[in-house]
Amino acid sequence: MSEDVIGRLGFLVLLGTAILGYLLVANRDRLGTLLRHATLWGLIFVGLIAATGLWQDIREAALPRQTVFAAEGRIEVPAARDGHFYLTLEIDRQPVRFVVDTGATDLVLARQDALRLGIDPAGLVYTGTARTANGVVRTARTRLAEVRLGPFVDANLPAWVNAGEMDDSLLGMAYLQRFAKIEISRGRLTLSR
């Protein structure tokens, strides 16, 4: 340790001793209460240090994220709290969150995602229909210049824009079948090419 660090440490020890001495003298008739409060604050301090050290693990449990294993050619994503799997794809360099839907045939964009990608839903021709849990909705075909999921890049992909209201865009089988292997095991979805 350098002399500067030793000097600072000595100052902090001296300051801590002075504060502790004052607290003991000022509260000599209530030492039990002082000890309880000091213990409580010590536990709070230790708890904050533990939470800071475990933050990465806490964040992964509370907000699961997709993991890219580029060298191994696979993507893993844990199930969200609602039991669904969510993947974030880059479409024309814009991140778009999709719910993985093996019951959907195509890649279907929600109106708000289409707008973010520069696709004007009002200017599309809605010639298709889709049967959903909310009934039949109109759909319009479009093309996506570049779709990227980790190291995997696909060009000129067909997609549909949903005329109805959807919270998330749907990642259906037309996209999922581009992978050699799709596996769901122990609450994790693994996509491999």
* 3-state secondary structure at position 38: helix
Q: In this predicted structure, what is the pLDDT of residue 169?
A: 94
Q: In this predicted structure, what is the pLDDT of residue 118?
A: 93
Per-residue pLDDT of the chain (193 residues; tens, 9 = 90+): 678 888 888 888 888 888 888 877 888 888 788 788 888 888 887 888 777 777 666 555 555 567 767 677 888 889 888 889 999 999 999 999 999 998 888 999 999 999 999 999 999 999 988 887 777 889 999 999 999 998 899 999 999 999 888 889 999 999 999 999 999 998 889 999 8
Q: What is the DSSP letter of 97?
A: E
Alpha helices, DSSP H only, in 71-172?
111-116
Return the exposure string of 75-88: e unless at least 16 CB atoms fall within 10 Å of the residue's CB, then b. Answer: bbbbbeeeeebbbe
Residue closest to 105 by CA, chosen among 64, 139, 56, 71: 139
- pTM of the entire predicted model: 0.64
Q: In this predicted structure, what is the pLDDT of residue 63?
A: 54
DSSP state letters, 166-193:
-SSEEE-HHHHTTSSEEEEETTEEEEE-
Cβ–Cβ under 8 Å, residues 171 and 89: yes
**Both tokens of residue 160?**
């549909």
Q: In this predicted structure, what is the pLDDT of residue 140?
A: 93
Q: In this predicted structure, what is the pLDDT of residue 69?
A: 74
For the stretch 48-89, pLDDT in tens is: 877 777 766 655 555 556 776 767 788 888 988 888 999 999
Strands 152-162 and 107-109: parallel
